[in-house]
């Protein structure tokens, strides 16, 4: 967005913030694409324009890749539209397809940015276990048939807690920013339907970082490497030592936290 | 199937029985359709032909409608194919799309029929509650936003227990067979993720019967009619008095029981 254009957008009366859930299976990621390629942002902006009556350019807390899902993506945009805030959710949802849902809407001060004001994010990664796959979870979990050593996975994932250089789990395509991030939570839980749910909460994430971590944690679960080897890979800061990226379908952007700055 | 053709099929060496799960969203029901219309049976027969090496005509416990799912559909077919029974599941699943899965395979005596040997079936119907819909359950549950009186729904659904004439809940398109069926279980449970799960186990079901019952039970939950009115509708045997058919997406064929005759 050019600087003058950005200023023009910010001159509008309201800064609207939305919490959005989506099934990412049908979309080429969150970030706006040139048609006929369709991203979640394309659909969302198109419907918001109908509801608000002006052209909408939204900013998200971050992009999600093709096939990745969200329960708590957060976006904001500037508008002169006058629809009362408490009517936004139902008005927009009445226009959206069933795989995109606005869960909550609010109004923030002009300086709030879904991207820059974010304090931390929580991702969930779902693994489906079992002798045979489950067609009802195929879109929402990574199916692994061979038995997984959950205790070893828990030990490995625990290594990422605290502040580390995460270069070992950074995709080569990522922007050249600092690879240091702090993780507050890194848990592996056994859930209903023979699923494993990995939950990672941190102050920021590098491109493909969660999926690269999970790919390597899965190798620990399969007994291909030890939790100690996982620790060495993390410490070594060398991407070529980590496992393949885990599939997009298991990943959910669960929550974005803005501290005192904003909450729904 | 013509009589001579049927005899020819039964002359084959083996009677194979499969338990099949599918996400019915993309298919025009279970029963074989003329291409380009695609049903689950079309896909399944096509892949079974590759694995078994002869033309496959399978028979199912019953059809399911477009958009209806299954965890435990059961089918059987006659074949001269020689693949060992314990290798069937993985061989077929390696060819199937991710929304159809063979869960188990067995071999039965020649007189076993997935359709005619069935003793009872269990259906599950899922209702998604909540202020906003959940895009991750949109394919697998009926979303109802308004609060539901679960105790009243439970009382209404309980009325179907035992033996009744279910004409009130029979679709007009159904075959002219006896409308009397016996229900062994009819429960409404609150489940994770703010779902209601209705479970109905009976010795047989009329066309659209479960979805028509659920449509009327939902009206009880919404306070539109009382549980007593539900009882009157059941007793009245008049289809025009019951509510609209509940959406296909919430319905799952959970299990087909063959008693001592066959089990996986």
Q: Does B86 touch chain A (CB under 8 A)?
A: no
Per the CB < 8 Å rule, is A102 touching B23? no
Q: Span A219-247, mean pLDDT?
A: 95
Burial B63-100 (b: 16+ CB within 10 A, else e): bbbebbbbbbbbbbbbbebebeeeebbebbbeebeebb
Q: Which residues contact B254 (CB under 8 A, 6 or more apart)?
A: B70, B71, B72, B121, B122, B123, B124, B199
Q: Does B134 touch chain A (CB under 8 A)?
A: yes
Q: Is the pLDDT of residue B176 over 70?
A: no
A89 inside 8 A of chain B by CB: yes
Q: Where in chain B is the domain with CATH 3.30.70.660?
A: 120-255
| Average pLDDT for chain A | 95
* B232 within 8 A of B156, measured Cβ to Cβ: no
Report the gap between the CA of B18 and the closest CA in chain A (Å): 13
- Please report where in the chains the tokens 């990621």 appear, as a residue: A29
Q: Considering chain B, what is the average pLDDT of its residues?
A: 95
* Helix pair A227-236, A150-158: axis angle to 10 deg: 30
Which residue does chain B place closest to A90, by CA atoms? B132
- Among candidate residues B136, B247, B143, the one with its CA nearest the CA of residue A94: B143
Distance (Å) of CA B209 to CA B72, B144, B206, B214: 18, 20, 5, 9
Closest CA–CA distance from residue A239 to any residue of chain B (Å)? 31
The band of A66, judged by pLDDT with boundaries at 50, 70 and 90, is very high
Tell me the ipTM for this assembly.
Answer: 0.91
Of the candidates A7, A87, A100, A19, the residue with the CA atom closest to the CA atom of residue A52: A87
Closest CA to A33 of A75, A72, A73, A65: A65
CATH 3.30.70.580 residue window(s) in chain B: 3-117
The architecture in CATH of the region B120-255 reads 2-Layer Sandwich (3.30)
- Given A101, A138, A192, which is nearest B135 (Cβ)? A101
pLDDT tens-place string over residues A15-28 = 999 999 999 999 99
Q: Which of B258, B260, B262 is nearest to B122 (CA)?
A: B258
User: Exposed/middle/buried for B225, CB within 10 Å: 0-12, 13-18, 19+?
Assistant: buried
Candidates B136, B146, B191, B254, partner chain A, best to mutate (most A CBs within 10 A): B136
Q: What is the pLDDT of residues B98-132, one digit of tens each?
A: 999 999 999 999 999 999 999 999 999 999 999 99
CATH, domain range B3-117? 3.30.70.580
Q: What is the pLDDT of residue A44?
A: 98
For residue A98, the chain B residues in CB contact (below 8 A) are 133, 135, 138-139
Q: Taking a C-beta distance cutoff of 8 angstroms, is the pair A31, A212 a contact?
A: no
The rounded distance, in Å, linking the Cα atoms of B232 and A213 is 59
- What digits encode the pLDDT tens for the residues B19-77? 999 999 999 999 999 999 999 999 999 999 999 999 999 999 999 999 999 999 999 99
State whether residue B88 sits within 8 Å of chain A by CB. Answer: no
Q: What beta strand segments (E) does B27-109 contain? A: 59-60, 69-79, 100-108
| A175 pLDDT higher than 70 | no
| Six token digits for residue B76 | 């059987």
Note the pLDDT of residue A176: 67
Do A138 and B98 make contact, defined as CB atoms within 8 angstroms? yes
């Amino acid at each position: 967005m050019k600087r003058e254009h950005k200023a023009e957008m910010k001159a509008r009366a309201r800064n609207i913030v939305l919490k959005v859930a989506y099934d990412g299976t049908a979309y080429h990621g969150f970030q706006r694409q040139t048609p006929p390629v369709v991203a979640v942002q394309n659909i969302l902006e198109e419907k918001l324009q109908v509801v608000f009556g002006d052209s909408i350019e939204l900013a998200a807390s971050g992009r999600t890749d093709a096939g990745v899902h969200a329960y708590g993506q957060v976006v904001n945009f500037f508008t002169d539209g006058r629809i009362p805030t408490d009517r936004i959710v139902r008005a927009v949802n009445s226009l959206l397809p069933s795989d995109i849902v606005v869960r909550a809407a609010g109004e923030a001060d002009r300086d709030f940015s879904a991207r820059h004001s974010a304090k931390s994010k929580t991702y969930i990664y779902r693994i489906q276990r079992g002798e045979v796959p489950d067609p009802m979870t195929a879109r929402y979990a990574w199916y692994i048939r061979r038995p997984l050593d959950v205790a070893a996975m828990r030990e490995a994932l625990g290594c990422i807690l605290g502040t580390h250089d995460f270069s070992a789990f950074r995709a080569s395509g990522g922007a050249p920013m600092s690879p240091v991030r702090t993780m507050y939570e890194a848990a592996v839980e056994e859930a209903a339907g023979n699923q494993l749910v990995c939950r990672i909460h941190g102050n920021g994430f590098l491109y493909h970082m969660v999926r690269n971590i999970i790919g390597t944690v899965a190798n620990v679960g399969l007994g291909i490497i030890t939790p100690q080897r996982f620790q060495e890979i993390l410490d070594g800061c060398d991407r070529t030592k980590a496992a393949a990226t885990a599939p997009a379908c298991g990943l959910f952007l669960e929550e974005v936290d803005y501290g005192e700055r904003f909450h729904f």
